[in-house]
Chains A and B, each alone.
Chain A
């Protein structure tokens, strides 16, 4: 059964509005894309939409209470909220280094979640 969808291409800042007719993920017709990349974008949005995910995880013994983290690659969109709740359960210990995995192979996706910065351990008495 053919369906039609409106997709906004985010490949470049132009942000074309694409009208796509498709059948089980196969694109039958596309309009509104100012360049070829719009077609690839529409295909991936229909077949396997992914997003970079950024959030924070709790830190024990660090100079800051939270560590910002990001997925190493774009992560499957339907599983983002499951990933976020997995990361909410996590607590990591300082010191931490930029690029260090805090969750490997997240939810079996093959994608690691990495530290976005260094986070040194807190000195025992920071104010003295």
Chain B
């Protein structure tokens, strides 16, 4: 029998959810349940068959499914219950989750603390307003990845990929390996948005051209894609007339970003950050709703799975503390004494957006951020409270595609006062 009352309920079994469950259990939560809508655990990792996972945290370079299995095995050994093929539809505060499962029909689970680790979904054609006809053959890159790597069929023969993020480049190589032709990868920004390693190993190695400052002007085709018209864009990302080129292909893949899957958090009333699209969280990964935690791509889009796991561990540890009434020294929520973390020069967003003033002295805290514009020269990240600089970190460069972490040690934290605001900026050195 499944427990109908649990200490910590985790929604989603990707790396964030698995880590949260493991940490909650280790942190003393007796009953921990993960609910996952897919037919197996692991989240997006099961379709990311390429290597490159775990280098920071496990000091091993693993394929996605191997990284997932490491944590699935851990969860099993700890006796964490995993309910697969079950989707959480709605949650009420304090927590009653309503889920629907293939095996058991409608299920209700009560929980003291809740961790939402529902990941992200891909931006689709509608969200980038791609002009042209509406033929079959336009897919998101992650969907195509699932077709090829999990389901076992090819969605086309001749591809154009829009977006130079890691998913797009990895799919370019994958499709080439499976015998398809990838005509080109096009990127609207004047720079590569994914990792250099992927550019070398996925595009350069296979001689797949990358067209920067280009986009798809229009999709051409009746019942199936026949071609796309590409066009160069200027510095304001406006199409440059006369640069149109018709590129024959039968499939267009969109790798144009991920959006946090926040529906559950929204119905629970958690405040969202308009830039990340995810919830506002504090240093324990708690949202603005008491007892509701979030971790992973649902909070902000990570580039490395290792940091997703780290965030999941933090959320799980905090949820276990909350379930016992011991979070933030028993105060349970930062609402009583919050410090706001704000974005400054060349910073797109920061996570966490809130810090609890009372508990800051307990050890160090990490602030993660992304820059707005690339800085290809040495730079500083500066954290300023009032007019006083409390942390400074040197960077060799700063790129929008790579998350930056600054650690606030206890010395820095001691200089903070209640009611203060922190501002994080990236400036040339």
Contacts A65-B151, A116-B63, A116-B66 given; indicate if A10 touches B177 (C-beta within 8 A).
no
Contact (Cβ within 8 A) B68 A51 = no
Q: Which of A38-92 contact B (CB under 8 A)?
A: 51-52, 54-56, 58, 63-66, 68, 70, 77, 84
Closest Cβ–Cβ distance, residue A68 to chain B (whole Å): 4
Contact (Cβ within 8 A) B196 A70 = no
Q: Confirm or deny: B212 has a beta carbon within 8 angstroms of a beta carbon on chain A.
A: no
Q: Confirm or deny: B77 has a beta carbon within 8 angstroms of a beta carbon on chain A.
A: no
Stretch in contact with the other chain, from B199-207, B256-264, B290-298: B199-207
Contact (Cβ within 8 A) B65 A116 = yes
Residues in B whose Cβ lies below 8 Å from that of A51: 201, 205
Would you list the 3 A-B pairs with minimal beta carbon distance, nearest first? A15-B196, A68-B49, A117-B65
Residues in B whose Cβ lies below 8 Å from that of A14: 196, 396-397
A113 to B118, CA, bound (A): 33
Residues in A whose Cβ lies below 8 Å from that of B402: 13
Residues in A whose Cβ lies below 8 Å from that of B411: none
Residues in B whose Cβ lies below 8 Å from that of A58: 152
Closest Cβ–Cβ distance, residue B68 to chain A (whole Å): 7
- 25 A/B residue pairs, CB under 8 Å, sorted by A: A13-B196, A13-B402, A14-B396, A15-B197, A15-B200, A34-B396, A55-B177, A56-B49, A56-B152, A63-B40, A64-B150, A65-B152, A66-B149, A68-B49, A68-B64, A70-B51, A70-B63, A77-B205, A84-B177, A98-B66, A116-B49, A116-B62, A116-B65, A117-B46, A117-B68
Contact (Cβ within 8 A) A10 B152 = no
Contacts A52-B51, A84-B177 given; indicate if A98 touches B152 (C-beta within 8 A).
no
Q: Confirm or deny: A8 has a beta carbon within 8 angstroms of a beta carbon on chain B.
A: yes
Q: Which of B233-263 contact A (CB under 8 A)?
A: none
Known: A10-B196, A117-B68. 20 other contacts (CB 8 A): A8-B199, A8-B204, A10-B200, A15-B196, A15-B197, A15-B199, A34-B396, A52-B51, A54-B50, A55-B49, A56-B152, A64-B150, A65-B151, A66-B149, A66-B150, A68-B64, A68-B149, A70-B51, A116-B66, A117-B46
A100 to B158, CA, bound (A): 34
A34 to B66, CA, bound (A): 33
Contacts A8-B200, A10-B201 given; indicate if A66 touches B152 (C-beta within 8 A).
yes
Residues in B whose Cβ lies below 8 Å from that of A23: none
Q: Which of B66, B201, B402 has the most CB of A within 10 A?
A: B66
Q: Confirm or deny: B181 has a beta carbon within 8 angstroms of a beta carbon on chain A.
A: no
Residues in B whose Cβ lies below 8 Å from that of A52: 51, 61
Q: Which residue of A lies closest to B68 (CB)?
A: A117
Residues in B whose Cβ lies below 8 Å from that of A65: 151-152
Q: Which of B388-402 contact A (CB under 8 A)?
A: 396-397, 402
Q: Confirm or deny: A31 has a beta carbon within 8 angstroms of a beta carbon on chain B.
A: no
Residues in A whose Cβ lies below 8 Å from that of B62: 116
Query: Which of B51, B68, B396 is within 8 Å of A54, CB to CB?
Result: B51
Q: Confirm or deny: B361 has a beta carbon within 8 angstroms of a beta carbon on chain A.
A: no
Contact (Cβ within 8 A) A98 B196 = no
Residues in A whose Cβ lies below 8 Å from that of B201: 10, 51
A34 to B376, CA, bound (A): 13
Closest Cβ–Cβ distance, residue A71 to chain B (whole Å): 9
Residues in A whose Cβ lies below 8 Å from that of B397: 14
Q: Which residue of B lies closest to A65 (CB)?
A: B152
Q: Which residue of A lies closest to B197 (CB)?
A: A10
Q: Confirm or deny: B195 has a beta carbon within 8 angstroms of a beta carbon on chain A.
A: yes
Q: Confirm or deny: B69 has a beta carbon within 8 angstroms of a beta carbon on chain A.
A: yes
Closest Cβ–Cβ distance, residue A113 to chain B (whole Å): 12
Closest Cβ–Cβ distance, residue A74 to chain B (whole Å): 10
Residues in A whose Cβ lies below 8 Å from that of B49: 54-56, 68, 70, 116
